[in-house]
């Protein structure tokens, strides 16, 4: 026996079932399409990174409407410009014999930096006074590391690459480290083979103060001990005082002196005078509390101060001359202690002037670049 509305019920059930099935099919189709879209996007991203290399160095800025630009303030020179009064002719017009342009007139973010460095060469005829001694300065402390094989390599690199007639190296130490240095077999080895290197004692524990004191007393080049010289710096030491650029990233914008490892000033430099005065200003932390970041800001502040008061500031040596590891992956040298080299370092190693390394050397130093350079040093000095 059939119920009266059995046909309607059957027909209604059939209609509902068809609608539900249609919806399910549409949902599955939509999910399938979405899956293919996601897979296509992932495949595209994967292919992009397989084909392309991405070097990123992003900067994030607050919108001007939230943080308006501050007005330009011309900060006066210290002591009413005393450092720039009665300047020697070389600080007004440059050396008459100056014939080398150390820097191109454009920013160098690619391997053109290495290419330009390779063109800065020692001239056939000596520039400047043949009797002028140029002092190189660095510092060593037992608090940082022992005086070992890598420190000896630094001294050896200086002797092997810098002019023996006109260059000397002073290692500044604290009095408490004198015995440790005298007893170091590596220091003894250097002292036995050359009279161009010696140490002087200064009980100031802050490297910044020692640097300014050394340069104001002797003038010359201040460098970080973690440096291997590659070739003669003579072309860079006539005509301009300078501080090295710390990384390639500041070729676009930013503070080029934040982390600088090398600088050159004559002892009567007005720039050095202005820097020393700036350190004593109350707006800066005490000398024994200055960090590398503070020091970079100090250099940049004084640089801008000099420029805005109408004087030509010191030069900025391009990053690749001394800091070849401080750039994008495609342009930087590998660590000197890495087991292998890169194509960029294989091609341009002889173009740079020195290699300031930032990593801690192993207890027994080795590495492709380190061994290549150190073997050249040993062949040159025979010790």
What is the rounded CA–CA span in Å between residue 377 and residue 268? Answer: 33
The pair of three-digit structure tokens given for residue 157, joined into one six-digit string:
């690199």
CB neighbours of residue 382 within 10 Å: 7
In this prediction, residue 378 carries a pLDDT of 95
Coil vs helix vs strand at 183: helix
The whole-angstrom separation of Cα 79 and Cα 369 is 48
Q: Which residues contact 205 (CB under 8 A, 6 or more apart)?
A: 141, 174, 288
* Mean confidence (pLDDT) of the chain: 84
Q: CB atoms < 10 A from the CB of 27, how many? A: 10
Question: Would you put residue 294 in left (φ > 0), alpha (ψ -120 to 50) or beta?
Answer: alpha
β-strand partners of 197: 169
Tell me, what's the pLDDT at 168? 97
Going residue by residue through the chain, which has 383 residues, state the pLDDT in tens, using 9 for 90 and above.
555 555 545 455 555 566 677 777 778 888 889 999 999 999 999 988 888 766 665 666 667 667 667 777 788 898 888 898 888 777 765 554 555 666 666 666 667 889 989 999 877 666 555 568 999 999 999 888 889 999 999 999 999 999 999 999 999 999 999 999 999 999 999 999 999 999 999 876 565 678 888 999 999 999 999 999 999 999 999 778 999 999 988 877 789 998 899 999 999 899 999 998 888 775 666 655 667 777 888 899 999 999 999 898 999 999 999 999 999 888 899 999 999 888 888 889 999 999 999 988 888 889 999 999 999 999 999 98
pLDDT of residue 363: 80
Secondary structure of residue 250 in the 3-state scheme:
helix
User: Is the separation of the CB atoms in 292 and 258 below 8 Å?
Assistant: yes
The tokens describing 11, both together, are 């027909």
Query: For residues 212 and 275, what is the distance between their CA atoms, to the nearest angstrom?
Result: 8
Written in H, E and C, the secondary structure of 11-54 is: HHHHHHHHHHHHHHHHHHHHHHHHHHHHHHHHHHHHHHHHHCCC
> Could you please report the per-residue DSSP string of 105-171?
SS---STHHHHHHHH----SS--S-TT--EEEEEE--TTT--S-HHHHHHHHHHHHHS-TTTEEEEE
With H, G, I as helix, E, B as strand and everything else as coil, classify residue 362.
coil
Instruction: Tell how strand 315-317 and strand 220-223 pair up.
Output: unpaired
User: What is the per-residue pLDDT for 79?
Assistant: 86
Backbone angles phi, psi at 36, to 5 degrees: -65, -35
pLDDT tens digit string along 245-269?
999 888 777 899 988 999 999 998 9
The structural architecture, per CATH, of the domain 129-320 is Alpha-Beta Complex (3.90)
d(CA 323, CA 260): 9
- Look up tokens 């240095």; give the residue: 181
Contact 208, 290 (CB under 8 A): yes
pLDDT at position 183: 94
Chain centre distance of CA 192: 33
163-184 pLDDT per residue, tens: 999 999 999 999 999 999 999 9
Ramachandran quadrant class, 80 (left: phi over 0; alpha: psi -120 to 50; beta: rest): left
- Buried-state track 50-67, b at ≥16 Cβ within 10 A, e below 16: eeeeeeeeeeeeeeeeee
Distance CA 382, CA 44 (A): 57
Residue 36 burial class via C-beta count within 10 angstroms: exposed 0-12, middle 13-18, buried 19 and up: exposed
What Å distances lie between residue 42 and 29, 72, 214, CA to CA? Answer: 20, 48, 59
Confirm if 107 and 251 have CB atoms less than 8 A apart: yes
């Amino acid at each position: 026996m059939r119920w009266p509305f059995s046909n309607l019920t059957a027909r209604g059930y059939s209609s509902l079932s068809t609608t539900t099935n249609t919806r399910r099919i549409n949902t599955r189709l939509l999910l399938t399409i979405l899956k293919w879209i996601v897979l296509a996007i992932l495949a595209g991203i994967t292919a992009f990174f397989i084909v392309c290399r991405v070097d990123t160095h992003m900067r994030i800025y607050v919108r001007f409407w939230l943080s308006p630009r501050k007005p330009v303030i011309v900060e006066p020179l210290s002591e009413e410009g005393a450092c720039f009064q009665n300047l020697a002719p070389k600080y007004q017009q440059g050396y008459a014999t100056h014939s080398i342009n150390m820097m191109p007139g454009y920013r160098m973010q690619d391997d053109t930096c290495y290419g330009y460095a390779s063109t800065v060469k020692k001239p056939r005829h000596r520039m400047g006074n043949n009797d002028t001694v140029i002092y190189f300065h660095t510092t060593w402390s037992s608090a940082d590391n022992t005086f070992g094989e890598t420190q000896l390599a630094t001294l050896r690199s200086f002797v092997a690459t810098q002019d023996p007639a006109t260059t000397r190296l002073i290692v500044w130490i604290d009095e408490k480290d004198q015995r440790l240095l005298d007893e170091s077999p590596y220091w003894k080895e250097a002292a036995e083979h050359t009279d161009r290197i010696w140490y002087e004692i200064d009980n100031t524990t802050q490297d910044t103060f020692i640097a300014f004191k050394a340069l104001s007393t002797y003038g010359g080049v201040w460098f970080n001990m973690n440096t291997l010289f590659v070739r003669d710096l003579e072309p860079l030491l006539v005509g301009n005082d300078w501080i090295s650029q710390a990384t390639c990233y500041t070729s676009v914008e930013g503070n080029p002196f934040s982390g600088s490892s090398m600088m050159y000033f004559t002892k009567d430099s007005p720039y050095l005078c202005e820097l020393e005065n700036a350190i004593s200003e109350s707006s800066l932390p005490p000398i024994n509390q200055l960090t590398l970041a503070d020091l970079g800001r100090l250099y940049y502040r004084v640089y801008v101060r000099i420029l805005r008061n109408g004087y030509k500031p010191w030069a900025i040596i391009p990053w690749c001359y001394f800091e070849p590891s401080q750039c994008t992956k495609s342009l930087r040298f590998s660590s000197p202690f890495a087991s292998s080299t890169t194509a960029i370092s294989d091609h341009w190693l002889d173009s740079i002037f020195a290699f300031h390394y930032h990593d801690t050397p192993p207890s027994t130093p080795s590495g492709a670049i380190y061994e290549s350079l150190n073997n050249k040093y040993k062949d040159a000095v025979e010790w």
